[in-house]
Amino acid sequence: MKILVPVKRVIDYNVKVRVKADGSGVDLANVKMSMNPFDEIAVEEAIRLKEAGKADEVVLVSIGVKQAQETIRNGLAMGADRGILVTAAEDVHTDIEPLAVAKILKAIVDEEQPGLVIMGKQAIDNDMNATGQMLAALLGWGQATFASELAVEGDSAVVTREVDGGLQTIKVALPAVVTADLRLNEPRYASLPNIMKAKKKPVDEKTAGDYGVDVAPRLEVVKTSEPPTRQAGEMVGSVDELVTKLKAAGAI
């Protein structure tokens, strides 16, 4: 079985995010970019399935600016076999919306015929949480979202999902789309020899046009703003004073 893992290049989670002066989005110029952490979990899960003999090839796809090749290389260094880079934007600030990404992925799935697509449940930049679901709908496949456990058994997958208030275990027929939640696994570090080997692994270069997908945005960002700055605290002298203040603030 082949596993397809879409990976997104996003602002590194350690970077302090700054909103652009015109409020149109987050400033990404000269900012460290990395693989979306949920996608890293998806890559790790796919590699583990391969190591367990449940899959024989792990293919990565990244859609965005051409620098997303680095993101693919990082996944190849972890142990994926090859990559497909779909250049769909010139400017790093152009976000390809979930529907366009899902359409491109559908075209790639049609070509590659994977038995399983594993992807992050959402990207940490826009937190859309939509691409996996849209892809499953476009393909007419089953979907198992927010996976915290995944077991491939024959022609189906048993997936434990993190839902509000607990865990739900479902069985989906393969092929299917699985989206990875935080606790699915802890991604490995790429070893030095594997980092060196990654550059020799093949990465196909495509464009959105190759798949006939229009990536023009359908959503308009009206405003982006910084979260409110934290207000200064206040020292209280006694428990009574604390309770009085909390009551006055309507907190209790």
Binding site for another protein (CB under 8 A): 70, 73-74, 77, 189-196, 198-199
Q: What's the rounded Cα separation, in Å, for the pair 109 and 136?
A: 11
Other beta carbons within 10 Å of 32:
10
Smallest distance, another protein to C-beta of residue 194, A? 8
Smallest distance, another protein to C-beta of residue 139, A? 32
**Which of 92, 195 has the CB closer to another protein?**
195
Smallest distance, another protein to C-beta of residue 3, A? 22
Smallest distance, another protein to C-beta of residue 143, A? 31
**Which of 74, 145 has the CB closer to another protein?**
74
**Which of 12, 153 has the CB closer to another protein?**
12
- Picking from 82, 98, 93, 84, the residue whose alpha carbon sits closest to that of residue 30 is 93
Smallest distance, another protein to C-beta of residue 77, A? 6
* DSSP SS3 for 224: coil
**Which of 16, 223 has the CB closer to another protein?**
16
Please spell the DSSP secondary structure of 111-145, one letter per residue.
Answer: HH--SEEEEESS-TTT----HHHHHHHHHT-EEEE
Q: Which residues contact 226 (CB under 8 A, 6 or more apart)?
A: 18, 19
Contact (Cβ atoms closer than 8 angstroms) between residue 211 and residue 107: yes
Return the structure tokens found at 241: 């004073």
Smallest distance, another protein to C-beta of residue 245, A? 24
**Which of 75, 175 has the CB closer to another protein?**
75
Contact (Cβ atoms closer than 8 angstroms) between residue 86 and residue 211: yes
**Which of 83, 114 has the CB closer to another protein?**
83
Peptide bond into 175 cis (omega under 30): yes
**Which of 68, 104 has the CB closer to another protein?**
68
Smallest distance, another protein to C-beta of residue 187, A? 10
Q: What is the 3-state secondary structure (H, E, C) of 10-65?
A: EECCCCCCCECCCCCCECCCCCCEEECHHHHHHHHHHHHHHHCCCCCEEEEEEEEC
Contact (Cβ atoms closer than 8 angstroms) between residue 110 and residue 145: no
Q: What's the rounded Cα separation, in Å, for the pair 227 and 242?
A: 27
